[in-house]
Amino acid sequence: MVLIIFGASGDLCKRKLMPALYFLYKEKRVPSVFAILGTARTSHSDRSFRQMMKEELSRSLHQNQLDEAVLSEFIECLYYQPMNPTREDDYFLLQNRLKEMDRELTNESNYLFYLAVPPTLYETIPKLLKKAGLTGEPGIKRIVVEKPFGYDLNSAQELNEIYTSVFREDEIFRIDHFLGKETVLNILALRFANSIFEPIWNRNYVDYIEITAVEKIGVERRAGFFEQTGTLRDMVQNHLMQLLALIAMEPPRQFNAISFRDEVSKIYRSLKPFKEGSIGEQVVRGQYTTAENVKGYREEESVAPDSRTETFVAMKVFVDNWRWSGIPFFLRTGKRMPTKVTEIIVHFKQAPYHLFECLGTHCPVADSLVIRIQPEEGIVLRFALKVPGSGFEVKMTDMDFSYASLGHLPAMEAYARLIEDCFSGDSTLFSRGDTVEDSWSFFTPVLEYWKNHPEAPLYSYPAGTWGPHEADKMMEDLGFSWSNPCKNLTNTDKYCEL
């Protein structure tokens, strides 16, 4: 198989794809006949492209991951074809180059196209691949597309029509690296490989669920892209919704592409639609402002001085089915937060009768299960125990498990796993076309409301805080509160109130 990377001179290829491909090559998890053909507007020869990638990998890989002999072998698998992805004639140059490589490698026209390019090119590339005759028989043809897949429901539907007119649905891999993370996949193992959780994983025992994915950094060098997308499109519509689906889904009959993605699809279709009059109550958006020598969003390079692009979103979502009816899911994501953390917290209901009094400074609260995805991957079960000594003072304590105890997790494991699935044709962990449309169908009313109501609030929050106070109020109105992780996650008490 030949992997053709569009945008091979870009950051995604250098920082994520090449380290993952090197890891797969080192572990002998690539096809037996294998090569990588990079394409971009940048002028490179095979030799200069190989040299550039060798230098990049030498810088980015840890010493314990780097094997000079293997790296030298891997670099010889790299080829380069300069081309403009918007110019039809260049695709015939690409076709000729691939034919040469097929003869050299004895490859049977098996191609995996990877679009590591801006979303503006997502419509163009599959159309021109088809015109050049690069998508039909003979051989295997697959295409990998990075998120975001569309900007709203209409654009997602249009993209799906384009891709399904060129490829079969099982040949389209809509990739989101979140679903390749070991700690995300372990949500499934935690739920479905252990009988102690499933009986209480429902509205009878769960009070509410938090899903948080926040970053300490700002928009960095992505301001141009971020101005066009915003946090709702960049994080909520894909990453957070996928986490919600894994937490809320029913057990699939088998762990394969059809059964697994069917159950995910059911969750998306069970989301209780937003009503225009309730969007302001259920969705809080914010934008970070200057604080402690940190620029505000509007002071960032390439950001409009009157920008209304959100850098923070908190929302209340309901899954309208038998298992979860009436149970709120609170989603939160933002930039310039106090720390970087991604976690899911399942809050169970209080014990029906308070047998023990609240003594001293410690009061028993409801049990909770914390699934930490980053940075300290693991699971924490919080429950009450008696404090040693006289009396019956009860204190919350942690049963803490770290995934590090199961073995070292390579830095590039998410992309490596997903690319390996693309090689083998396993689409289980990739979004299906109907699910993408269902997700956009849910969020498009929010985007349209913001667009049609310029007076809709965009709350400010100082950089380095946990977002607008309105996000706290949204939970407090229901008697809940956010669990804000401490800045130092190695503290004994890992969760503290702001």
pLDDT at 498: 31
DSSP state letter for 13: I
Judged by DSSP in three states, 284 sits in strand
* Residue ranges of the chain that CATH labels 3.40.50.720: 2-146
Query: Architecture of domain 179-412+458-496 in CATH?
Result: 2-Layer Sandwich (3.30)
Fold of 2-146: Rossmann fold (3.40.50)
What are the C-alpha distances in Å from 411 to residues 10, 187, 250?
19, 19, 30
Using a cut of 0.85, tell me whether the model's pTM lies above it.
yes
Helix (H) or strand (E) holding 450: helix 433-452
Which residues belong to CATH 3.30.360.10 in the chain? 179-412+458-496
Would you name the residues annotated as active-site residues?
239
Alpha helix positions (H), 219-310:
223-231, 241-248, 257-270, 279-282
Map tokens 């809709």 to a residue. Answer: 456
CA distance to 147, 254, 429, 432, per residue, from 258 (Å): 21, 9, 11, 10
Give the whole-angstrom CA distance, residue 371 versus residue 368: 10
For the ranges 292-301, 405-414, 424-433, the lowest mean pLDDT is seen at 405-414
pLDDT in tens, 225-275: 899 899 999 999 999 999 999 999 999 998 899 999 999 999 999 999 998
**Residue 177 pLDDT grade (very low, low, confident, very high; cuts 50, 70, 90):** confident
Instruction: State the average pLDDT over residues 132-156.
Output: 94
pLDDT band per the 50, 70, 90 thresholds, residue 494: very low
pLDDT(290) > 90 = yes
Question: Tell me: the pLDDT tens digits for 83-117?
Answer: 999 999 999 999 999 999 999 999 999 999 999 99
Are residues 177 and 16 in contact, defined by beta-carbon separation less than 8 angstroms?
yes
Span 317-345, mean pLDDT? 96
